[in-house]
Amino acid sequence: MVALHLPCPEGNFNPSPEEELPHSWWILYVNGVVNNEGTDAGIILVSPEGHHLMSAIHFHLHATNNDVEYEALINGLKIALDLGIMNLIAKSDSELVAKQVNQGFQARGSRTKLYLRCAYCLLGKFKKVRLQCVPQVKNSNADSLAKMGSQ
């Protein structure tokens, strides 16, 4: 697990004074699915008290599995930021996305590079953030939500 402090190349995301207050850690589970029914994402945010906020998103776009995994992560990060979450552990079962974001794998292709840059910009807005790759079995709830997105 690597803590990321990745500023967006186009901006400086220093926390404002009110954001300096101590915040508890939230957990974000994300999963993207491409199947015969469409392209979908499942997003689950778990509060420090254990409350679950769930979202299923259906995308009207042609995407690869890796694209939709990035879409799930990016949308999950946006939701977390909209809620004012400052400390986040994001969990994805996409080894490729997790390793690219954590700088273990190089991003290839112009679309993947755009997704990676967008993820970096969002990650740079958190006070503390980590992205972990988890086995699919530990991400089954987000997977179920993603599969429901097209129904």
What residue spans define the domains of the chain?
24-148
Angle at the Cα of 128 from the Cα atoms of 26 and 63, rounded to 5 degrees: 70
Q: Is this structure's pTM higher than 0.85?
A: no
| Helical H segments across the chain, by residue range | 65-82, 95-101, 110-123, 140-148
In tens, the pLDDT along 62-113 reads: 888 899 999 999 999 999 999 999 999 999 989 999 999 998 888 888 899 9
Q: In terms of C-beta density within 10 A (0-12 exposed, 13-18 middle, 19 or more buried), how is residue 39 classed?
A: buried
CATH class, 24-148 region: alpha beta
Model pLDDT, residue 80: 97
Model pLDDT, residue 94: 92
Sorting pLDDT into bands at 50, 70 and 90, what band is 39? confident
Cβ atoms 23, 15 nearer than 8 A: no
Cβ neighbour number for residue 54 with a 10 Å cutoff: 15
